[in-house]
Amino acid sequence: MAKTWLPPAEYIATLPRATAYACLYFTDTAGRPFQLRSVYGSEAWQWPGGNMDPGETPWETAVRECHEETGIAYDGEPRLLGAHFLAPCGEDWPANHIGFIFDGGMLDDEQIAAVVLDPEEHTEYRVCTLAEWEREMTPRNFQRLAHIDRARREGAAVYLETAAFI
């Protein structure tokens, strides 16, 4: 079978579709993860972040979304903690979804108290121990949190896969 060269636009049309998100992972000074309660979907707790806009890099997305969702103007350097691949979920989300989780560092009590949420996206924020988060989260989302927390403590990025998401 002879291979035929396709112009880039035609070739790209044959590839799987994908969307991407990026976020910042913060802890308080005691090492407890900081998360936001979303008004969307079944996965209530998440990190400051969101879907990439056209022309934006994952890092730019994480910083922009963090500022929009919390008021935190993060100015640190990019440090990747993990990449996350989520398979399509039928008509609910018919594309791959790829995530980039960056280390946002530690927030002190003053920074946490100054968080201003966008009420159209999040209803509250919390810092909890991993054991407390495990009781609050779905097992799938908690595993992602635990892996990212370990990646930060051990200094090595992780790759995660989720079969399908809603």
Q: Which tops the pLDDT comparison, 37 or 10?
A: 37
Q: How large is the average pLDDT for residues 76-80?
A: 97
CA 8 to chain centroid, in Å, comes to: 30
**How do beta strands 18-28 and 49-51 pair?**
antiparallel
Q: What gap in Å lies between CA 24 and CA 18, rounded to an integer?
A: 21
Q: Residues 96-127: pLDDT tens digits?
A: 889 999 999 999 999 999 999 999 999 999 99
**How do beta strands 33-38 and 122-127 pair?**
antiparallel
Domain borders along the chain are: 17-77+86-162
CATH for 17-77+86-162 is: 3.90.79.10
C-alpha distances out from residue 11 to 2, 5, 87, Å: 16, 8, 21
Which amino acid belongs to residue 66? C
Question: Of 124, 130, 121, 123, which Cα lies nearest the Cα of 112?
Answer: 124
Residue 74, pLDDT > 60, answer: yes
Q: What gap in Å lies between CA 69 and CA 48, rounded to an integer?
A: 6
Model pTM? 0.90
Residue 127 pairs in a beta bridge with 34
Q: What is the pLDDT of residue 96?
A: 82
Cβ neighbour number for residue 13 with a 10 Å cutoff: 10
Average pLDDT along the chain:
92
Pair 46, 83: CB distance under 8 Å = no
